Amino acid sequence: MRVKVSIIVPVYNSEPFLTACVDSLLTQTLSACEFIFINDGSSDGSGTLLDRLQHSDPRIKVIHQSNQGVSMARNAGLSMAEGEYIGFVDSDDTAAPDLFERLYQAATAHHCDVVVSNFISEMREHRVETRYPFPAGIALEREYVAAAVLPYFLKSDDLNTVCTKLYRMEIIEADAIRFPKRVALGEDGLFNMEVFCRARSMVYLDYAGYLYKERAGSATRSIGDKDYFKRAIEVFESDPPEAYKQLMNEADMRSLKAIRLVHTMLSLIHIYFAPSKDMGILRRYRYVRNAIRHTAVRDSLPSYCKAEYASLGGYQRLMVNLLSRRSVSGLYALAWYSRMRNQ
């Protein structure tokens, strides 16, 4: 039986969550799947668990490698994949039983290269569904992708994840697209931009079958040893794929990236002003103070306000006003208020 979908799962010290992830994949209603797990040098029992599971189901394939990071793990999975389409799952998340059947049916019904769906984030017992402003359930041709989707990657981070999409393997292999090496954050977005630059068509499903759970030690909690603002600046200053330069001018690209940088800054304020065992409050306070004073943030605020301010709610407008005034104490108080209100 031909493999319709290869699902690639990088694994690093995920033993407490791995069984739930695997169970959600083995119960997929699309049976013609293969599940490629890459044990990326785990020091817990993840590798042993994967070896045991491999013997229980012929659809499971396991690769063991030294720790090289999520990008290299996914690339190892791509090199082994035999499916017509490719999907990705993170080892501490779960997928609804019909996720990959729905994605595959949409891909084949519309003969498209990429399918995009929503996802649900579960954070502190709150669930939020991330959706996108694209027409749903119809084939969106290359012209629409160029005019609306590619600029969206410059403007926002919320489309970056590869775990809510299905990709035609032919598109990936034609230009040997792979995840970038030595990129600590944002590797999903770079991979997606390369793929979408080449996609002839896509379909957006207004459906959420992927559950992301924020956990202790996740990106939004492990702030002590990762400089997320530095990475945001690197993304802001980096060049998109060459194809972008044929679609829009430099000023428009920089304006879109400015919007994304301010969005990221607003998110980081909440992250760094939340209680953390990784970093003391004085260090976090200084971190935010230095970030909001950065020249790139200052220069990006006019573009952000011009494009976004009119559509913001009262709370968001107050955040932006405090950011413009560089009021660290005000931002801290507002982040505290938001956290108390949402408990």
Answer whether 180's CB lies under 8 Å from 71's CB. yes
Number of Cβ within 10 Å of residue 286's Cβ equals: 12
Question: The tokens of 158 are what?
Answer: 């919320």
The pairing of beta strand 114-123 with beta strand 139-141 = unpaired
Structure tokens at 166: 């299905």
How far is Cα 237 from Cα 232, in angstroms, rounded to an integer? 9
Taking CB atoms within 8 Å and a gap of at least 24, the contacts of 131-135 are 131/206, 131/208, 132/158, 132/159, 132/204, 134/204, 135/204
Query: Of 134, 105, 97, 107, whose CA–CA distance to 118 is shortest?
Result: 134
Q: Which residues contact 225 (CB under 8 A, 6 or more apart)?
A: 278
Residue 185: its pLDDT value, please? 64
Using CA atoms in the order 48, 53, 58, 63, what is the torsion angle rounded to 10 degrees?
-30
Question: What pLDDT does 123 receive?
Answer: 72
**Chunked in runs of 10, what are the mean pLDDT values of the chain (343 residues)?**
92 95 97 96 96 93 96 97 97 97 98 97 83 97 96 95 97 95 79 96 98 64 72 91 88 95 95 86 94 97 96 96 96 91 74
267: three-class secondary structure by DSSP:
helix
Long-range CB pairs of 143-150, under 8 A, 24+ apart, other chains included = 145/196, 145/199, 145/201, 145/202, 146/247, 149/196, 149/202, 150/193, 150/196, 150/197, 150/243, 150/244, 150/247
Helices 46-54/15-26 angle, 10° precision: 20
Which pTM does this prediction carry? 0.91
pLDDT score of 217:
45
CA distance 134 to 145: 10
Query: Using CA atoms, how far apart are residues 165 and 196, in angstroms rounded to an integer?
Result: 11
Contact in structure between 194 and 172 (CB atoms under 8 Å): no
- Please, is 148 exposed, middle or buried when counting C-beta atoms within 10 Å of its C-beta (0-12, 13-18, 19+)? middle
Identify how many contiguous H helices and E strands the chain contains and give both numbers: 14, 10
Give the C-alpha separation, 92 to 18, whole Å.
Answer: 6
pLDDT for 225: 63
Burial (Cβ within 10 Å: 0-12, 13-18, ≥19) of residue 256: buried
Residue 87 and residue 273: Cα distance in Å, rounded? 35
pLDDT of residue 100: 98
Contact yes or no for 76/150 (Cβ under 8 A): no
pLDDT score of 126: 77
Between CA 152 and CA 130 the distance in angstroms is 14
**Nearest-angstrom CA–CA distance, 67 and 39:** 8
